[in-house]
Amino acid sequence: MIPTYNPPSAYLEQTLRSVLAQDPGPEQMQIEVVDDGSPKVDVIALVQKIAGDRVTVFRSPVNKGLAGCWNTCIERSHGEWVHILHQDDLVFPRFYSVLGRLIYAQPTAGAAFCRYDFIDSKGARVLEQPALQAEAGPIDHPSETLAIKNQVQCSAIVVRRSAYQRVGGYDGQFVFTLDWQMWVRIAAGFPVLYHPELLASFRIQADSETSRLARTGETVRDSMRMIESFPNYITPGRVEAVQSQARQWVCDLALQKGVAFFANDHAEWAMAQLHAGLCYDKRLSSWRIAFRCWRRSVRKSKKLIIPPLPLLPASWFQPKH
């Protein structure tokens, strides 16, 4: 199931061809594009040009947003397993055969995912995700493992349709972490499988929704809101420890993203990301890194950019006994 919204034709063609290259036929695989009311692209004509009648297209009469479109994908799926593959991401040869063998050997599993990489707008590899474990099979303590940090991209995971139905759809109150929260929800009720072979790509784009949210710091704030939902899915005695590790991971990402924005002369985006992260980050080292980046940016641009420092909780300054 391929959700789309004003898809660039070159990307959508690459996405569809990566699937069609390993298509076992309509008897075994439904391939459908679910368009979220694109106003600028004739998705039906585009898909027919690329794939003929092999790929069906459903066009929503209204824009439902990420959660709504992804939930429509689930509702319209006919198969036992569902793969929501975004309009600019890719799967490698053997993706379906490798994960297919894995899931049919584990009939109680709710989801299965593989190792993946990150590619840029031109398809060049930017980063390769390290292997979660050396051997293919179930992951230990799946809800905690997937809650501590987001280990999964949508392109790399297939989910049992009945698991989606049991846990409910993607939660629209989250704009960035709705997928991360879904993996935790599924892992709380089902075994989750993993294969260490690199079989999928996630594309990083400057004009993507993720990039837009990062420029405002909303990626951090949305992550922190989502982490508050962990008591519903994590063993009670482990909730605080898991939440603490997850928050630390989000803060580390915010610091990395802020530094990268500064390095590329996007001081306002950097300050938005760092401000959001430092609201939760108590480490003096993080504040020092942020200050050094800000100071270098001021020297380079010769403009005084006043960072909106977060208000620190009074409890941070109370002595510990």
Average pLDDT across the chain, whole number: 91
The b-or-e profile of 8-42 (16+ CB within 10 A means b, else e) is eeebbbbbbebbeeeeeeeeebebbbbbbebeebe
Give dist(CA 204, CA 121) in Å, integer: 7
Assign 281 a pLDDT band (cuts: 50, 70, 90).
Answer: confident
Higher per-residue pLDDT: 125 or 283? 125
Higher per-residue pLDDT: 315 or 163? 163
pLDDT digit string, tens, across residues 194-237? 999 999 999 998 767 777 877 888 999 999 999 999 999 999 99
Q: How confident is the model at residue 305, as a pLDDT?
A: 53
Give 97's DSSP letter: H
Give dist(CA 294, CA 212) in Å, integer: 21
pLDDT, average across residues 41-48: 97
pLDDT, average across residues 137-143: 97
Quick one: how far is CA 2 from the chain centroid? 15
Q: How confident is the model at residue 9, as a pLDDT?
A: 96
pLDDT exceeds cutoff 50 at 316: no
Assign 276 a pLDDT band (cuts: 50, 70, 90).
Answer: confident
Give dist(CA 11, CA 203) in Å, integer: 10
- % of the chain surpassing 70 pLDDT: 92
Assign 312 a pLDDT band (cuts: 50, 70, 90).
Answer: very low
Q: Where in the chain is CATH 3.90.550.10?
A: 2-205
Extract the tokens encoding 275.
Answer: 């401000």
Provide the residue type at 281 as one letter.
D
Give dist(CA 255, CA 278) in Å, integer: 8
Extract the tokens encoding 239.
Answer: 């909730």
Q: How confident is the model at residue 317, as a pLDDT?
A: 44
pLDDT, average across residues 182-186: 98
Picking from 185, 45, 7, the residue whose alpha carbon sits closest to that of residue 110 is 185
Q: How confident is the model at residue 259, as a pLDDT?
A: 85
Across 80-84, 228-232, 277-281, least confident range: 277-281
Q: What is the pTM of this model?
A: 0.90
Q: How confident is the model at residue 56, as a pLDDT?
A: 98
> Domain 2-205 adopts which CATH fold?
Spore Coat Polysaccharide Biosynthesis Protein SpsA; Chain A (3.90.550)
Q: How confident is the model at residue 143, as a pLDDT?
A: 97
What contacts 295, CB < 8 A, 6 or more positions away?
A: none
**Exposed, middle or buried: residue 242 (CB in 10 Å: 0-12, 13-18, 19+)?**
buried
Q: How confident is the model at residue 301, as a pLDDT?
A: 64
Contact 35, 62 (CB under 8 A): no
DSSP string, 58-104: EE-SS--HHHHHHHHHHHH--SSEE----TT-EE-TTHHHHHHHHHH
Assign 178 a pLDDT band (cuts: 50, 70, 90).
Answer: very high
pLDDT exceeds cutoff 90 at 71: yes
pLDDT exceeds cutoff 50 at 314: no
How open is the CA angle 42-46-50, to the nearest 5 degrees? Answer: 170
The three-state secondary structure class of 117 is strand
pLDDT exceeds cutoff 80 at 295: no
Element (H, E) at 126: strand 125-128
pLDDT digit string, tens, across residues 50-67? 999 999 999 999 999 999
